[in-house]
Chain A
């Protein structure tokens, strides 16, 4: 569905991505893991076309996204920090998004109901708390029922009840065969929600396999432990390579 080929991105002197190649297949759900500043958000933004890669190619359904925009119909995006026009109310924002997507097929307003956003449609965006903003972001990402979903730290800042609502929703959409790409630092969440893991470090993919395999190899039951073990062994290998 989405193939990222040798993508590099430099922000001035900083190399955010140093030649990342990943394949994301429809029907699978990926955990995008990596330390802060490892290029997770840059990778997601590159696929969305918000960031233009310095070199490399990104294909969605076999077509390069360079200078294209209509492919974004297939993508729902929940940003890490949702930034919205301050003066708009939630209702106006939702109307605008529906209006901008010329012919929304089936609208999925489940999250709007579950988060009870309907009761505060006339609240202005700048009066919202961080958590409510996250809810709006989540509702918008799922609203147009897209086959691909990018969720950048979806559960950060949400209250426990809302986290469960969102997780149920993610699982439900995953079951229906969508492609999910989730970044998070909460391993237990990813353990529940995803089946594949892509580990980014310093702008490179260091590991890319299924979670089940990762657990097998490391002999750990939980994703958090397994990841820690894997990262440590990667570090050791690197150390050995440097010493040799």
Chain B
């Protein structure tokens, strides 16, 4: 496995995209810290970047990378190498590079400016979200042979989780406002990794009032630490289940 990871790493480094992404995160994070002296507010603004940009970059980059490595995958599979090793090797190499990029790009300014626990939750949620969207990207990549279609599916995932889902949730809450919806909303929020990440952040920042109804209820239901554990666990499922599904499909895929 390490051998496969090593070669995928080389390939990723050669495209320079990871470097640009790191630089972008580094610059924008530093800029945010320059704009405001209140680190709490900065973390809040950064959170919005993390919730929008990180999933988008992760899912698009991973999908494109998967298709660009088709030759490599084909080559590996005609050698005495296990399909699972090739697939997970690809996954880990992509996930590790993106997480590394994020940790450097956001982590260095956060540590330098000293934001306290808020900053570390930000790093944690960013890494979790990266992993979730890399997983979803791999799933959409094995679902179809066509690169354009796969990128379309990947973008759809992003739109759905970042924009559409919230709208749907609002609509449900609004339509059924006469009923007790607390537990239902709780379950519905678990179905969206971006929402989970947002709640994770807001619980930590202690401004769950900003989150409105669900956030307040969430805090009330779990308290900070239970909420943290619960949403981290669900996020982990969001990482594992798509990769597992993708691996199952990949094992039977024709090349």
Contacts and interface: CB of A to CB of B under 8 A. Distances in A.
Interface string B69-92: 111101111111111000000000
Interface string A40-54: 000001001111100
A97 B82 CA distance: 15
Interface string A2-13: 000000000100
B11 A87 contact: yes
Contacts of B254: 11, 45, 50-52
B80 to A, nearest CB: 4
12 contacts: A48-B78, A49-B77, A50-B78, A67-B251, A69-B80, A72-B80, A73-B80, A75-B78, A83-B71, A85-B11, A86-B68, A101-B79
A244 interface: no
Contacts of B14: 87
Nearest to A50: B255
Contacts of A87: 11, 14-15
Nearest to B78: A77
A45 B255 contact: yes
B86 to A, nearest CB: 10
A161 to B, nearest CB: 27
Contacts of B69: 85
B71 A85 contact: yes
A69 B82 contact: yes
Band of interface residues on B: 20 to 34
Nearest to A85: B72
Contacts of A86: 68, 71
A57 to B, nearest CB: 16
B71 A70 contact: no
Given A50-B255, A100-B76, A69 B81 contact: yes
Interface of B: 3-4, 7, 11, 14-15, 68-72, 74-83, 251-255
A214 B71 CA distance: 39
Interface of A: 11, 45, 48-52, 67, 69-73, 75, 77, 79, 83-88, 96-97, 99-101
Chain B interface, >50% SS class: helix
A48 B78 CA distance: 6
B41 to A, nearest CB: 43
A71 B80 CA distance: 7
Nearest to B255: A50
Contacts of B77: 48-50
B160 to A, nearest CB: 28
A79 B68 CA distance: 19
A174 B29 CA distance: 64
A97 B78 CA distance: 11
Contacts of B251: 67
B3 A99 contact: yes
A100 B72 CA distance: 12
Contacts of B4: 100
Nearest to A69: B82
A239 to B, nearest CB: 34
Contacts of A72: 78-81
Nearest to A49: B77
B67 to A, nearest CB: 12
B4 to A, nearest CB: 8
Contact of A100 (B3, B71, B83): B3
Contact of A50 (B11, B70, B74, B82): B74
A140 to B, nearest CB: 9
Contacts of B71: 83-86
Contact of A85 (B75, B78, B252, B253): B75
A2 B216 CA distance: 66
A51 B251 CA distance: 10
Nearest to A77: B78
B69 to A, nearest CB: 7
Contacts of B80: 69-73, 101
Nearest to B79: A100
Contact of A84 (B3, B75, B79): B75
A106 to B, nearest CB: 16
A48 B75 CA distance: 11
Given A11-B254, A50-B254, A100-B3, A69 B83 contact: yes
